[in-house]
Structure 1
C-alpha cells in the first residue's frame, strides 16, 4: 500500500531531482478532496516525457526497480518495501487532435486531454499538482468499474459539481420516468420526467446521450435517482461544469480554495 507518507517521500525525492510531477489515479482524486478516502495500492503519477529518463535514474538511485513495462510512456516501479509507483509520460509541448476530435497532448507521450493536468490539491496539507476534477471523473469510464471507482466518481461529482455522463436506457413517456445507463457508475440511475432540464422540456429518447446529477434515493429498485438530466443538444446554464472534463477548467481545482465546510 502507498500511504500519504510514502506519497510525500516520492514527491520529495523527485522534487530534489527537479522532476515535475502530477498526481493521477486514486491519489490524484484524494489530493483534490484534500483527504485520504481509502487505501491505495500504488501511486499513479504523470511526468514530462522529456524527463522520463531522468525520473528513471532518480528512482533507481533510491532503490526502485522495474516491475512492469506497459510501453515507452508507462511503467511500474517497486522498491524493497513494496511501494509501487506507476508513471505516465506526457508531451506537454505539442498538441494534436485525436480520432474523436478532442485536443490532446503530443504523440511523444500518452494522449492526456489538453488542460487536464491543471488541477491542484493537497496531501497531508502539502499542495500538489494533479489532474482536474473533470478529468479524473471522465477517466472513470470505458471499463468495468468497482466500488472504489464509484466512490471516487461520486466524491468528485458532489464536491465539485462535475456532471455524470450516460445514455437513456429506457424511457416510459406515458408513465413519465426512465432509466439512465450511467457511464461513471456501477448501477443504472432512475429518472423522473421532472428532472429533465433545459429552457423547454424535451422528452428523452432511448439511446440519447445525457449528462446528469444524482442523489442517493431508493426508487423503483434503483439505488440512485437523477436530480437534473441534460439531454444531448440542450444547453447547460453558464458556469456548469463541462461533462467531458477535457479543456474546461474554469471551476477552481484547488480544494484548499473551497469554503471551509467543503474542504473538511
Structure 2
C-alpha cells in the first residue's frame, strides 16, 4: 500500500532531481478532492520523456527497480517500477509540445493519446500542493470500460467534492 507520506517522499525526491511529474489515477483523484479517500496499491505518475533517465535514477535511489514481467501495455506507453514494501509506480512518459500539451505514445504502430495543456493542474495531499491531472481528464480516463469498485468510488468522490459529472 502507498501511504500519503510515501507519495510525498517520491514527489520530493523527483523534485530535487529536477524532474517534472503529474499524479494520475486514484492518488490524483485524492489530490483533487484534497483528502485520502481510500487505500492505494500504486502511484500513477506522468513524466517528461526527456527526463526519464533522471526519473529512473532518482527512483532507484529510493529502492525502486523496473519490473518487466506482467506489464501490459508496456513501453512505450508505460512502465512499472517496484519498490520497498511491494509498492509500485506506474510511469507514463509524455512528449510535450511547445504549447504545453503533450502526447503519450501507446504503441510502436503510431497509436497515441493527446493531453491538452489545461489538464496539468495541482491538488493537495496532506496539505502539500502537488501536480496532478484535472478532474475532467480523470473522468475521461474512466470512460470506455466496465468500472471496478475503486473506479466507482473515485468518480463518486469527484461528484461529491467538485460537482463533476462522471456519467457512472
The two structures have a TM-score, normalised by structure 1, of 0.55
Alignment of 1:135-174 (within 5 A): 135-165=137-167
Distance 2:88 2:153 in 1: 22
The reply to whether residue 79 of structure 1 matches residue 83 of structure 2 is yes
Largest Rg, 1 or 2: 1
Superposition RMSD in Å:
2.0
The answer (yes or no) to whether the contact 1:47–1:90 under 8 Å persists in 2 is yes
**What is the rounded CA distance, in whole Å, between the counterparts of 1:117 and 1:55 in structure 2?**
21
**Count of aligned pairs between the two proteins:** 158
Structure 1 contact 120–129 (Cα < 8 Å) conserved: yes
Q: CA deviation at 1:154?
A: 1.7
More helix by share: 2
Pairing partner for 1:88 from 92, 99, 115 = 92
State the partner residue of 2:131: 129
Q: Provide the C-alpha distance between the structure 1 equivalents of 2:8 and 2:122, rounded to a whole number of angstroms.
A: 15
- Determine helix, strand or coil for the equivalent of 1:111: strand
Q: Which runs of 5+ in 2 are unaligned?
A: 107-111
Question: What secondary structure is seen at the aligned counterpart in 1 of 2:129?
Answer: strand
- Output the CA distance in 2 between the equivalents of 1:45 and 1:107: 12
Show structure 1 runs of 4+ deviating over 3 A: 106-110
Deviations 1:58-114 (A, max 9, x none): 21233211123511241110123222111111112267xxxxxxxx73366862421
Q: Which has the higher contact order (CA 8 A, sep 6+)?
A: 2
CA distance in structure 2 between the aligned counterparts of 1:138 and 1:108, rounded to whole angstroms: 17
Is 1:56 aligned to 2:56, yes or no? yes
